Each structure stands twice: as C-alpha cells, then as structure tokens.
Amino acid sequence: MSSDLKQRIIGRVQSDVAAVETALHDNLGAHLPIVSDVAGHILFSGGKRLRPLLMVLSARLCGYAGGREIFFSTVFEYLHTATLLHDDLVDGASLRRGRTAAHTLYGNETAVLVGDFLLARSLTIAAETGMTDVIKVIAGITENMSQGEIHQLTQKKNLELSEAEYLEIIRRKTAVLMEGACRVGALISRADEARTAALTAYGHHLGLAFQMADDLLDYTADTAALGKSVGADLREGKLTLPVIRALSAAGKEDREQMARIITDDDFSDDDFHALVRLLDANGGIDGTRAAAESHVAAAKNELSVFEASPGRSILEDIADYALTRKH
C-alpha cells in the first residue's frame, strides 16, 4: 500500500519534478563555479522536491494559468537547501541524504556563504512575482525558520521541554515552509480567501505531520534507509515528540533510565536501543504516530473546500505519504 501510494504520486508528478529540476539548474544564477558546485552538491543529491511541488500543485488546484509556476516554485527548494546547509553546520551533522555534508566537504565558511547566496537567490526570484504579499510570505518563512532552529538550540537536553513548545519549534522550523509553499500557490493564482486559507492550513498540518514522522524515523529507521545517522537527534540533544510523550507517561524508574541515556553525551548503541524500547513501552512511538496521523487527517480535511478532482487527490496522497515514507 505504501509502495502503491508512492508509485501513484510519482506517476502524477514526475513531469513537474523534471521541470523543477531543469529550472533549479537554470535559475541558480551563480557567478562563481564554487558556488554552483557547493549548491549543486546538496541541491542535486536526490531531494524529493516536495516543497516546489506543493506550490505548483496548489497553484494548479486554484486554476493558475500564468505559466510561471515552475520558475516561482524554485524559491522553495532554494530556501530549503539554504537551511539544510546552515542546519547541518549548526547540528554538526556529517551525513545528508547518504552523502558527506557540504560543510564537511567544503568547510564551514563556504557552507555559510553558499547558504546566504541561496537565501538571497530565493528572494530575488520571489521579487520576480511582483507581488509583495508573496515576498512577505517568503521573507517571513526565513525569519521563522531561523528562530525555530535557535529555539531548538536553546532547548537542547531540556528534559522539561513541553509538547506545546515542541510544536512551536517544529511549526517554525518545518511547517512554515510547507505552509508558505501552499499559500504562495494560492496567492499567485489570486485564489479567494477561503481557498487561500485552506491551502495554508493544509500546508501547516502537512508540515507538522512530516516533522513528527521525521522525528519518529530517527528512532525507528535504519541508517542506510534514512541516508543520515539514526539517533542523530538524541546525539544532538534534540528532544522530540517520541521522547516528550514517553517521558510524560513514564513512571519514576523508566523516566530516570531515559533521563540517564538522554543526558549522557556518549551513550552506547545498547543505550540507544534500550531507550527506543522505553519510548515504545511508554507510548512515545505510538503516541507520536497518532499525533502525526491526526495532522494528516486535518490536512486532508482542509481540502474539502475544493471539489473532488485529480488535483485535490494528489495533495491528499501527499499527506498520506508523510506517514508511510521510510526516509
């Protein structure tokens, strides 16, 4: 079923993805080969192009016929790539999509500056829309993402992190980008307020579901499938929903054992597996999956302002995919 869903999505979007790939190459606009190389290392390493697709599909659903949706959509992949470059550096991550992270390969300096270039590039393309409400959405995404990351940094290894604060962090660092992509799709189509709000809310819930699924995979996937190290969140001191839910449900003994592993800077593989069992036993895994499912349902529900159509069902499929993917 999961594999059917993936095939169905791929069948529907592959020509758009190919067009986005071409546009990402064409619009990079770097003056220096090193900038193209570093940006290309991460831009062309097998990303799903989910964010540009969300914009393109949202625009289509709103009847956009301006012909520039592929061009505009590159904004969201450049933005996403810029934040990956900076976040991998911030997190000290050594792998990204199964490849050596750019900051390790090219140095922190270059990763910072190429990230800045990609941020700027995305805003230059945003300005091409000539719509200041679009530009504000895109600048606002970057404000939110940087603050979400900083918020997460300040909460490292904080065993008291509440679910509400976790939600606020993932909203800013992940959901605003998907929300913004869907919203911009509606805005460039000059969709009415109800449809614009519905697509915005769809992107918001989708983003939360994706991040929760990501946070779950960090405890349940294996490194080969994930393309980055399993247990990376824990190693970086990031407390995510599986941990927050389990800590809050656990009795004293389990809680103390979890706390010991979480706060240990040098936990072993055995410790990690013990933690995963404790998360599972205390509802952290199931609880997170259920929370993600509820956001998938909410995302799909928002689409009910649109009549049933292939354009609506592909967005519904993408919401379902948030939970079934393996990486």
Instruction: Tell me if 140 contacts a second copy by CB under 8 A.
Output: yes
**Are the CB atoms for 254 and 274 separated by under 8 Å?**
no
Alpha-carbon gap, residue 223 to 47, rounded angstroms: 17
Closest CB to a second copy among 128 and 316? 128
Instruction: Tell me if 36 contacts a second copy by CB under 8 A.
Output: no
**Are the CB atoms for 181 and 52 separated by under 8 Å?**
yes
Instruction: Tell me if 223 contacts a second copy by CB under 8 A.
Output: no
Q: How many CA within 13 A on the CB side of residue 15?
A: 1
Instruction: Tell me if 221 contacts a second copy by CB under 8 A.
Output: no
Handedness of CA 140, 123, 145, 202 (dihedral sign): positive
Stretch that binds a second copy, among 42-50, 122-130, 223-231, 290-298 (CB under 8 A): 122-130
Count Cβ atoms below 10 Å from residue 253 Cβ, excluding itself: 9
3-state SS, residue 99: strand
When binding is defined by CB under 8 A, the residue of 146, 257, 313, 324 that contacts a second copy is 146
Closest CB to a second copy among 265 and 270? 265
Q: Which amino acid appears at position 122 of this protein?
A: S
Q: How many residues lie near a second copy (CB under 8 A)?
A: 45
Stretch that binds a second copy, among 49-57, 59-67, 145-153, 276-284 (CB under 8 A): 145-153
Q: CA dihedral in degrees (322, 209, 132, 194; nearest 10)? A: 100
**Are the CB atoms for 288 and 215 separated by under 8 Å?**
yes
**271-278 long-range contacts, Cβ below 8 Å, gap at least 24?**
272/231, 272/234, 275/219, 275/234, 276/219, 276/220, 278/246, 278/250, 278/254
Stretch that binds a second copy, among 51-59, 106-114, 214-222, 307-315 (CB under 8 A): 106-114
Stretch that binds a second copy, among 15-23, 46-54, 111-119, 319-327 (CB under 8 A): 111-119
- Cβ partners under 8 Å of residue 32, min gap 6: none
Q: Which two tokens stand for residue 146?
A: 């940087």
Alpha-carbon gap, residue 56 to 73, rounded angstroms: 6
**Residues paired with 100 in a beta bridge:** 95
Closest CB to a second copy among 63 and 92? 92
Instruction: Tell me if 132 contacts a second copy by CB under 8 A.
Output: yes
Q: How far is the CB of 180 from a second copy (least distance, A)?
A: 12
Instruction: Tell me if 114 contacts a second copy by CB under 8 A.
Output: yes
Q: How far is the CB of 242 from a second copy (least distance, A)?
A: 24
When binding is defined by CB under 8 A, the residue of 109, 163, 192, 264 that contacts a second copy is 109
Which helix (H) or strand (E) segment holds residue 96: the answer is strand 95-96
Instruction: Tell me if 136 contacts a second copy by CB under 8 A.
Output: yes
Here's the x/- map for a second copy, 46-85, by CB under 8 A: it reads as -------------------------------------x--
Q: How far is the CB of 162 from a second copy (least distance, A)?
A: 16
Instruction: Tell me if 158 contacts a second copy by CB under 8 A.
Output: no
Closest CB to a second copy among 23 and 145? 145
List interacting residues with a second copy (CB under 8 A).
29-32, 34-35, 83, 86, 89-90, 108-110, 112-117, 119-121, 123-124, 126-128, 130, 132, 135-136, 138-143, 145-147, 149-151, 153-154
